[in-house]
Amino acid sequence: MKKIVLIYGLTAGFVSCLGYLISINNDNVNFENGMIYGFVSMFLAFSLIFVATNQYRKQNGGFISFGKAFLIGLYISLIASSIYVLVWLIVLYNFHPDFMQEYTTHTLEQLKNSGASAAEITSKTAEMQEAVENYKNPLFVILYTYAEILPLSIIISLISSGIFALVSLNNKKKASTL
């Protein structure tokens, strides 16, 4: 299990980083499509949880428990998410130290262009300024970044675990009737 988790966790970690690495082009961040790139790369990365769980199941005679499948997904999620956070910290502090301010400016411009009321703009400005201040603390950057990726990976781990536990249960029933 360790080898499978390590191989797929590292691979998923690097694949998950592709979204924001693609959205950074010539020192400009593509905020318009960045979120799309990010979620697509995360989804692709965490689809490897299914592949890893299936590989482990096949190595164990076609059977895997929900708990074991979930642990495989969770460990892959933790490895991949940690790589994602580490790479983001490197990119942020070495290449885009003004990222949060640029993101705030972009977000507020989008809000103004959408015809939002003055109250909405004021509220969002205060919210974004708080985020800019929080982003000055590396601990908050780490927590925000984990919050981007870890929930999705845990949901995918739960789905994968449920699917493979049902498949294993069906395989067990078929084997017992033979």
Q: Which residues contact 156 (CB under 8 A, 6 or more apart)?
A: 43, 46, 47, 49, 50, 73, 77
- Mean pLDDT computed over 129-157: 95
Pairing of strands 28-29, 24-25: antiparallel
The per-residue pLDDT for 85 is 97
For residues 34-61, average pLDDT: 93
Strand, helix or coil for residue 30? coil
Q: What is the DSSP letter of 65?
A: -
Provide DSSP, 126-178: HHHHHHHHHTTSHHHHHHHHHHHHHHHHHHHHHHHHHHHHHHHHHHHHHHHH-
Answer for the pair 8, 52: CB distance below 8 angstroms, yes or no: yes
What pTM does this model have?
0.88
Reply yes or no on whether the pLDDT at 33 is more than 60: yes
